[in-house]
Every structure is written in structure tokens, then in C-alpha cells.
A and B are shown apart, each in its own frame.
Chain A
Amino acid sequence: MTDLIHRKYKHYIRRKLLFLLAVIVLLVVFFFIGLSMGSINIHLKNILYSLTGLADYQDSVIVLNIRLPRILSAIVAGIALSVSGAAMQSLLRNPLASPVSLGISHGAAFGAAFAIIVLKGISNANTNFPVSTPYLISISAFFWSMVNTLIILTIAKLKGARPEVIILSGIISGSLFTAGTSALQYFGNDIQVSSIVFWLFGDMGKTSWNKFWVLLAVTIPATLYFIKNRWNYNALHAGDETAKSLGVKIGKVRMVGMFFATLASAVTVSFFGVIGFVGLVVPHIVRRFIGNDERFLIPASALFGGMFLLFADTVARVILSPVILPVGILTSFIGAPLFIYLLIKNIGRAYND
């Protein structure tokens, strides 16, 4: 009997590991498809040559300078958004927690609008040839999304890091920034307002190797922190009192976790604009396959998020080729119906609180 329980349990765990493996395989497949497809299709053989430095100049430039940073950025951005979403949902015990619903994106949008209109991030704004300064816009977006984080965490700290306080602070702070963005837009000229609108579309085309490395430097420690704390997050599912009695330092785990989650998503949104639904929906898709166990949910959400955003961005690049759609539009088009489907189907099974 003892052996039987153990065997059955191992079998149950193996299914989750298989899911992780399948996502990794899909990620690798989409990686090569992404490198291959675009305005010009490149053969797999030439991709491998490019990656090993043996291809001709044109293929190398396309693969290494244009597609590779974009694809790697899409993967890491997807990881950052979805792993943050999964962590936020666990830490706050709320299935609707995500970088967007906590106001991170609203803070970044305000920052971008602030940079474009107040700091003149779009120079020569009265001519037909506006010149943008993307780093100024990104830095301002990051700054203001971290201001949003600071507001949330300060209120949370004052009120004992309770989930409902954090969520309400996020919603309130987010709406404050939305009002700020609207006010700025009201005073902007046509070019500035359209620049803000374009910035708001999450677009992987804004990437560069520098942005990729910065994003990677934030996403890796955040993801490792979440993975390290997976047992704490599992304990939190049973409620704060039980978690505390199991040795979880509730306040610290929640505050540091929220800091990493907001940091990773703030950097992503500041670089690429608002990419909706990845942070919210990916953890829910993953839960359907492997359940709530954070030991698997955290790494699987990270990998699935990377794969999902890469897939969406590749579709965005080729669906109306040579026109490239901003991926933020596509994730919402895929994400919204999927989320409604999940909501109707079994989201209630996953969260009973």
C-alpha cells in the first residue's frame, strides 16, 4: 500500500514534469520558426549557419541583428510578465492579480506620456519629422511604474501586507495614473498624443540588445527568487495563519515577492509598452494543465509565458507581412476570448476563496 501511494504520487508528479518538458520543446521549436519566418523567409540551415557565424552577410544581419534580439526579448518579456503574474496571483491569493490590474502598466503609460509631453521626449514635435528619444521615454515609464509600486508597497506596509489592501492600492493607484495620462494627453498636440497611443501598443520592435540584457538581468533573479519561494507560496494558499504556523515569514515573503514581480513587469512594460493578458492569462492556462502547485506553476508559467509571447509576436510579424502588428494588440485578441473561456469553464475550480 505504501509503495502504491508513492508510485501513484510519482506518476502524478511525472505528468507535471512532462508538461514542463513539452513547453520547453515548443519554445525551442517556436524559436527556430521565429528566426526563420518574416518578410524574408530564411531556411533552417542558413539560420544555423548564421548562429555559428558561417552564413552570408545578409542572412547573418537579419538573424543576428534583427530577429534574434527581438525573439529573445519576446521570450524574456513573456517570462517576466507571466512569472510576475503567477507570483502576484499567489501572493495576493487573487486570480485577477497581474501587472496590469495592479496599475504597473498605468504607471508606465503615465511615465511615457510624461516623457513625451513634459520632457519633450518627442522633439521637433511641431514638424512632420518627429524624433523620439526612446531611452528617455523608457526611463520615465520605469520611474513612474516604480512610483506606483512604491505607493502600493508603502500602503501595504502600513496596513500589514494584507492581500486586499495591496490589490485595492494597485487599482486606486492605477486609476490615478490613468487620470494623469488623460490630463497630459489633453494638453498634448496631435503628434504627441499619437506618439503616446503608439507607445501604449506593446511592441517587441522597440527592442535592442541593450534592452534585452537589462531585462534579462532583472528577470533571472526575479524568477529564481520566485522558484526559491515556491514552498512559501504553496503554504500561502492555505491562508496566512496556516502559512505562518508552517514557518512562512508572511510579511517579508509578500513584500519582497511583490517587489520582484513589479520590478520585472515594470522593466518589461517600460521597454516595450503595454502587453496585456500575458501576466493575467498565462498562469491560468498553466493551472488547467498542472494545477495550483507552485513548485510547477512558477517555472511552467515562466516557460509558457516566454513561449506564448514568442508565438504571438511571430504571428504579429507574419500575419499581415510586410506590415508588422504590435504584439500587444495580438496578445489581447488571443488573451481576451481565452480568458473568458477559462472563466466560464473552470476558473472557479482553481480558486475557491
Chain B
Amino acid sequence: MIEIKNLDFAYKADNVLKNISTDIKKGEFVGIVGPNGSGKSTLIKTMAGILPVHKYSVFINERDIHSYNHNELARNIAYVPQSEQFYPVKVFDAVLMGRKPYIGWAPTKKDHSVVIRVLKMLELEDIALSFLNELSGGQQQRVFIARALAQEAGILLMDEPTANLDLRHALDVLQLLKNLSDTGITVVIAIHDLNFAVRYCNRIMMLNNGTIFSQGGSEIMTSENIKKLYKTNVKVFQQDSHVFFIPE
């Protein structure tokens, strides 16, 4: 689904991403963790086609990302940034924007029916005609996910989807993303909270200083690895099948 080969990326002189290689399969839910400045957001943006990458370094559905035109890429990858500029737009119209890669002159009946289906799926029907900027953070995040789903893309990339949410809304959003990955959508998120990451994601990718430090399931989340990554001591607990981290 997403294949990355020896990816380097630099904003100016210093490389932010160094020799990243990974292969993300259809339906996986990948959580990218790592300290501030480790390159999480940059990696997500290179996958989304927002930051320019060298040829033959990022492949989407076995095709080089360079071979996609703008609209085609938007039909294959949906991206939700960490924070969006809010302006007064109705929820319906915000979600309809997800159909932009498909819309020629004007939205068709199909575009409207996709929007309504997505609104129902995310339980946004009641607020479909509310203004986006009047909603709570959790509702707004759902609207952005709805817009991404309206793109009908197989890949959903989100940069810190729980950053501005309270506990309940954060859990809601993560459960929703997990459900989406269960339906075959590939979900990749950058996330700070290790407890959330290990609980919801199938795969954790630990980034440190622009390189993949380690990746795998909950087994890589050892106190040694976390200490190396964050320079902080944590205690790792296991109860039933769940793993927890508490700073010492």
C-alpha cells in the first residue's frame, strides 16, 4: 500500500528524515511515535505528497508518488493536518470538500450521497448544517475525518489526531480510526501518547532523529527503548493483554 525506500528529506541543510525504509500494508493502523522534532509530521507529509520527495522513494499502491497527478493522489490518499484554519462553513460543505478531487463543474448526486453516507457513518447528521467553527474540538475532528472519508481514499494519514482533544473525544477518535482500519483502510497517524498508540495501533513506528529506531507491535515498547527515545524513565506494566506506561 505505502512503500518507502531509502527516503531522505531536508527542509534546508540538515536532513530531517534519514534513509527511512518501510512497507505499510492495506488495513494496517500504524502509529508513529517519537520525541518532538524526530520527524513524525515530516514523514506523514512526505507520504501525503505535501512535501516533495526524491523519485523512487515513496510508492503508493506500487506506483511512484511522482506518477500521480494532484487529483489522482487525492483520490488515493486523504490527509488531515494537526490543526486547520477554521472559517465559517457548514459541516455539509466541509465534508463536500472531500469530493473536490472528483468534482468537475459541479457536485453530482453521487457526491451528495457519499457526503450523506459519511455524515451518517460518523453520526454527524444532526449537525450537518451547523457551522464548523461553532463545534467542539472532538466534533471538528470528526468532520475532518468525514471529509477525508469522502475522498474515498484507501489511505488515511493524520498528524496528531488527538492533540487538542479531551480523554473521551480522543478515545472516540482513535476507536473510529481503528474501526476504519478494520474495514480495510490503511491508517497512519503521528501520535505522542504512547498508551494510546499501543492500545489502538497494530504497528508502532519509533522515530528518533529522523531515522526508524524500531518498529513492530507492543513488544518493542520496552522501558529501555522508551528511555533511549525520550531520555526519560518509564515503568511498563502489563495487565491482561494491555500494556501501560507510567513515567517514573
Contacts and interface: CB of A to CB of B under 8 A. Distances in A.
Given A9-B92, A12-B90, A247 B101 contact: yes
Contact of A2 (B71, B74, B80, B116): B116
Nearest to B93: A293
A5 B119 contact: yes
Contacts of A238: 84-85, 87, 94, 97
Given A1-B120, A6-B112, A238-B97, A245 B48 contact: yes
A244 B89 CA distance: 19
B225 to A, nearest CB: 31
Interface in B96-119: 97-98, 100-101, 103, 112, 116, 119
Contact of A234 (B48, B71, B74, B97): B97
Interface in A214-250: 231-232, 234-235, 237-239, 241-242, 244-249
Contact of B87 (A8, A9, A232, A292): A292
A239 B84 contact: yes
A352 B45 contact: no
A276 B80 CA distance: 39
Interface string A73-101: 00000000000000000000100000000
A218 B209 CA distance: 53
Contact of A349 (B45, B50, B88, B90): B88
Contacts of A291: 88-89
A245 B74 contact: yes
B100 A242 contact: no
B189 interface: no
A351 B112 CA distance: 27
B90 to A, nearest CB: 7
A232 B103 CA distance: 11
B11 interface: no
Interface in B68-82: 70-75, 77-81
B77 A245 contact: yes
Interface stretch (B14-22, B59-67, B125-133): B125-133
A239 B85 contact: yes
B49 interface: yes
Interface in A131-161: none
A41 to B, nearest CB: 44
A350 interface: yes
A146 to B, nearest CB: 29
A231 to B, nearest CB: 5
Majority SS of interface residues in chain A? helix
A178 B134 CA distance: 43
A353 interface: yes
B44 to A, nearest CB: 10
Contacts of B74: 245-247
Contacts of B98: 246
Contacts of B49: 244-245
| A239, A244, A291, A350: most-surrounded residue (chain B CB, <10 A) | A244
Tier of interface size on chain B:
35 or more
A235 B99 CA distance: 11
Contacts of B78: 245
Contacts of A349: 88
A239 B125 contact: no
Contacts of B94: 238
Contacts of B151: 246
Contacts of A352: 85-88, 133
Nearest to B98: A246
B97 A235 contact: yes
B10 to A, nearest CB: 16
B79 A241 contact: yes
Contacts of A9: 90, 92, 112, 128-129
A242 B120 contact: no
A241 B81 contact: yes
Interface in A1-53: 1-2, 5-6, 8-9, 12
17 contacts: A5-B92, A5-B128, A5-B129, A6-B116, A8-B128, A93-B85, A231-B97, A231-B103, A234-B100, A238-B97, A245-B74, A245-B77, A245-B78, A247-B71, A291-B89, A350-B88, A353-B85
Given A245-B78, A247-B71, A248-B100, 15 more contacts: A5-B129, A8-B128, A9-B90, A234-B97, A234-B100, A235-B97, A238-B84, A239-B85, A242-B81, A245-B49, A246-B97, A247-B100, A292-B89, A352-B86, A353-B85
The 9 closest A-B pairs by CB, nearest first: A247-B74, A245-B79, A247-B71, A247-B101, A247-B70, A353-B85, A239-B85, A246-B100, A241-B81
